Amino acid sequence: MLFVNSIKHLHNSLWIEWRIAIRFLADNPLQTLLISVAISVGAAVIVFITALIMGLQSNIIDKTLGTQAHIRIEATQQHNNFSEFPDGKYVWAMESPRAQRLQSINNWQEVRDALDQNSVFNTVSPLISGPAFATKGTARASVALMGIDPKRYIGIINLKDYLTDGRFSIEASDILIGYQLAEDLGLQTGDKLRIDAGDNLQSVMNVAGIFELGVRELDSRYVYTSLKQAQTLLNLPGGITILEIKIDDVFSADYWAQRTQKLTGLYVQSWMESNGQLLNALSSQSMTTQMIRIFVAMSVIFGIASVLAVSVVQRTREIGILRAMGSSQQQILRVFLLQGGLLGLAGSLLGVFIGFTLIEIFNAIDAKLFVIRLESSTMLSAIFIATLAGVLAAMVPARRAAKYDPAVAIRYV
Amino acid sequence: MSKSQILTHAKGQQVVLQLDKINKIFNEGTPLANHVLHDVSLQVSRGELVALVGTSGSGKSTLLNSMGLLDVYSSGELRIQGHLTQGMSEQQRTQLRSESIGFVFQFHHLISAFSAIDNVLMPLMLRFGKPNKEQTEYAKYLLNEVGLAEYADKPTNRLSGGQQQRVAIARALVTRPALVLADEPTGNLDTQTADEVFDLFERFNVEHKCAIVIVTHDPRLSARCPRTIRLTDGRIVYDGASADLPNEFTKTV
Ligand SMILES: Nc1ncnc2c1ncn2[C@@H]1O[C@H](COP(=O)(O)OP(=O)(O)O)[C@@H](O)[C@H]1O
Ligand SMILES: [Mg+2]
């Protein structure tokens, strides 16, 4: 009962503070409007920059990961074995690293099936990849022969989306080649192409489709064929060299790579390791925008604080009257904190709207640029933070108002 | 009220306000120290109408602010409705002020962002939050009593000086205080308006039995109060029936 009463009391006592705060703001419309616009410009800049950078970064990551697996599992590299060193003796050894021949992942089907059980891994796709020469007439090009399981591989790179000519088929002797390779060797769909993997292993293939992944290295070297064909050509019957994985949360790749490494004992690498430079660039970009956001937020906070400081002085006499009418110091404090919060709220609502409009304009200007999406969580957090910042900004002026000596304030003209 | 002892006047009336050797020194302990009130002792009983007179700078406002707990006095004892106010926290002072005392100031001090009725209701809203029907009705009744029923919802800056002062009187009475303190409430008004405003004080004093201490420079008005207290340089030099005020004082108000 006491609790209910005190809640009721709090609500009731806040009622008048709300009213006074709103009336004070409404009583000085020009000042309120100006500061709200200033806050909204700050909020709009923050919202726009945040969305822009987030859009840009996710665009870069999407592009990078569009033609890459998130996690790659390879057979453990071959290394030299040393006989055990005798105790208490130093051994000088001269080691020359061993040449790495193509090596299959042991029991890869079992590994694949085990990984399939984990729902985090959207796609687990086997790949056998090795070097070969492609020849047409007298023209020769060195290529990477990619033997894939097509049903699974489209979960890694959806080749159908990248086809510029022909159809998606690696049945029998059908292969898919990059457009750059097609240009280099003067190939069209339907043409024959000899693939020579050395050791007298060669085969004449049929170019079923031509793709453009947008990465020169891949477009000039990749030759997709079936697992079986590649296994035969690369002399690795039944084997694969790589298991590729895609996951939902791309930034958890490192974590899952480590777990997989522990689980399988194989050599596992995430895209984050192999794209360290890119991630570095992205994170320093994030830091720069964070700085911009902080400085804009600070100028907004000081803006609110200075306007309220002026308002407190303007209202000195009224504060004195309110005190004489029986208001407590806390009530005066809350009236001004509420004003700060209301200014932050109004300004950020307007600002989010402006930011939203800016983003729409940006998206409309050139569709070829990447599209910025404004997440509702960005908008909500902008509004929440701005409102909180308003209350914080009001702290100093509000305390000053609460501490006014009523006898002195009453006389103020 | 039950806990604290309620003093009664010789005639058996309740004492609303009791001052015992109140001193007020501004900027105490600094080279700018200014001793404004000297050992001021007085009592005001329920329903009294008291004029507080004295030359400008004699300390009338300072005394009124101390009595109304707007300001802290430096030494002495002050009781309001029996409550000893020494050592009270700011919060307790605020509560006692809002329960027992109504203020009227010279420059009608309304809050211009609010309508007349909201100004009248302000002391209640600050204390209880959203006003209930009874409180609103009472505020309307008071506005009607001061002749401003039709101005209830008007912004106060559209009202004349006399009208604003009448709103301020209604506001001072809305909490049904035991004591109303008025600091030159008619000082800013022409003679006729001043008389009308003073009529209101007289009427409420009789009808509501609240004690009123009114600071005024106008000898005609102080003569209408049964009792006059005169301050000179922060000391009470006369406290008695207005009719018996020595002539030397009446000239120099
Ligand atoms: N806040 C203050 N600080 C210092 N001196 C003050 C202050 N308020 C009033 N005084 C001084 O106290 C004396 C009495 O002032 P006041 O009570 O306003 O007189 P009255 O109301 O009778 O004209 C004056 O000398 C005035 O200068
Ligand atoms: Mg004065």
- For residue B58 and ligand 1, the question of a CB distance below 6 A is answered with yes
C-beta of B56 in contact with ligand 1 (< 6 A)? yes
Determine the average pLDDT of the residues in B158-171. Answer: 89
Q: 10 Å Cβ neighbour count for A249?
A: 10
- Cα–chain center distance at B180: 4
Ligand nearest to the CA of B105: 2
Confidence of residue B204 (pLDDT cuts 50, 70, 90): confident
Cα–Cα dist A380/B71, whole Å:
46
Please give, rounded to a whole number of angstroms, the shortest distance from the CA of B94 to a CA of chain A.
6
Contact B79, A287 (CB under 8 A): no
Mutate to test the pocket of ligand 1, among B23, B27, B36 (most ligand atoms within 8 A of CB): B36
- Going from the Cα of B60 to the center of ligand 2, the distance in angstroms, rounded, reads 6
- In DSSP terms, A193 is beta-bridged to A205
**Residue extents of the structural domains in chain A:** 14-62+280-410, 108-240
Chain B nearest-CA residue for A22: B113
Closest Cα in chain A to B95: A326
| Whole-number pLDDT of residue B249 | 65
Amino acid symbol at A253: A
Give residue B53's pLDDT band: very low, low, confident or very high (50, 70, 90): very high
SS3 (DSSP) at B42 = strand
Q: How far apart are CA B6 and CA B235, in angstroms?
A: 26
Residue B53 CB–ligand 1 contact under 6 Å: no
pLDDT digits (tens, 9 = 90+) for A47-86: 888 888 888 888 888 888 888 899 999 987 777 777 777 7
CA of B65 from ligand 2 middle (Å) equals 10
Distance between alpha carbon B51 and the CA centroid of its chain, in Å?
10
The DSSP code sequence of A169-191 is --STTEEEEEHHHHHHHT--TT-
pLDDT-based confidence at residue B165 (cuts at 50, 70, 90): confident
With the most atoms of ligand 1 within 8 angstroms of its CB, the residue from B25, B53, B61 to mutate is B61
Q: What pLDDT is recorded for position B250?
A: 59
Inter-chain CB proximity A323 and B70 less than 8 Å:
yes
Q: Enter the pTM of the model.
A: 0.76
Q: Is B105 in contact with A410 (Cβ distance < 8 A)? A: yes
Pocket of ligand 1, candidates B32, B40, B62: which has the most ligand atoms within 8 Å of its Cβ, to mutate?
A: B62
Q: Which atom of ligand 1 is nearest to the CA of B64?
A: 17
- Judged against a pLDDT cut of 70, whether residue B11 lies above it is answered with no
Mean pLDDT of B141-161: 88
With CB atoms and an 8 Å threshold, state whether B129 touches A410: no
Residues B94, A327: C-beta atoms closer than 8 Å? yes
Looking at the predicted structure, is the pLDDT value of residue B7 above 50?
no
Q: Does any CB of chain B come closer than 8 Å to the CB of residue A269?
A: no
Cβ contact (<8 Å) for A406 and B70?
Answer: yes
* Mean confidence (pLDDT) of chain B: 86
Residue from the list A321, A326, A406 with its beta carbon closest to the beta carbon of B111: A321
- A19/B125 Cβ within 8 A: yes
Residue B113 is nearest to which of A24, A317, A323, comparing CB atoms?
A24
B126, B156, B175: which to substitute to probe chain A, counting the most A Cβ within 10 Å? Answer: B126
Give tens-digit pLDDT for A37-55: 989 999 899 888 888 888 8
Q: Please give the distance, rounded to the nearest whole angstrom, from the Cα atom of residue B61 to the centre of ligand 1.
A: 7
Instruction: Enter the ipTM.
Output: 0.85
What are B's interface residues with A at a Cβ cutoff of 8 A?
Answer: 65, 68, 70-71, 90-91, 94-95, 97-99, 103, 105, 109-114, 122-123, 125-130, 171, 175
Whether A10 contacts chain B with CB within 8 A? no
What is the rounded end-to-end Cα distance, in angstroms, of chain B? 38
Query: Could you tell me which residues come within 8 angstroms of residue A146 by beta carbon, excluding any fewer than 6 positions away?
Result: A127, A128, A129, A222, A223, A224, A225, A230
Using the predicted structure, report yes or no on whether residue B1 has a pLDDT greater than 50.
Answer: no
Calculate the CA A58 to chain-centre distance. 5
d(CA B163, CA B146): 9
Taking CA atoms, A262 is separated from A113, A240, A273, B59, B95, in Å, by 17, 20, 17, 87, 70
Taking contacts as CB-CB distances below 8 angstroms, the residues of chain A near B99 are: 326
Q: Among A46-55, A298-307, B8-17, B124-133, name the one with the lowest average pLDDT.
A: B8-17
Q: Supply the CATH classification number for the domain B3-249.
A: 3.40.50.300
pLDDT for A172 equals 82
Task: Give pLDDT < 70 ranges for chain A.
Answer: 1-3, 6-13, 367-369, 413
- Confirm or reject contact between A23 and chain B (CB < 8 A): yes
Provide the pLDDT for residue A1. Answer: 59
Residue numbers in A near B68 (CB within 8 A): 324
CB contact set of A349 (below 8 Å; sequence gap of 6+):
A40, A383
To the nearest whole percent, how much of chain A has pLDDT over 90?
40
Termini Cα distance of chain A: 46
> How far apart are alpha carbons A249 and A259 in whole angstroms?
15
For the Cβ of B62 lying below 6 angstroms from any atom of ligand 1, the answer is yes
∠ Cα A302 A304 A307 (to 5°): 105
| Cβ–Cβ contact A18 with B under 8 A | no
CA–CA separation, B238 and B246 (whole Å): 9
Ligand 1 within 6 A of CB of B240: no
| Ligand in nearest proximity to the CA of B62 | 1
Q: Does A29 touch chain B (CB under 8 A)?
A: no
For range B223-232, the mean pLDDT? 92
Ligand 1 pocket, residue B60 CB under 6 Å: yes
Least CB-CB distance to B123: which of A325, A406, A407?
A: A325
The reported pLDDT for the residue numbered A9 is: 66
Residues of A in contact with B117 (CB under 8 A): none
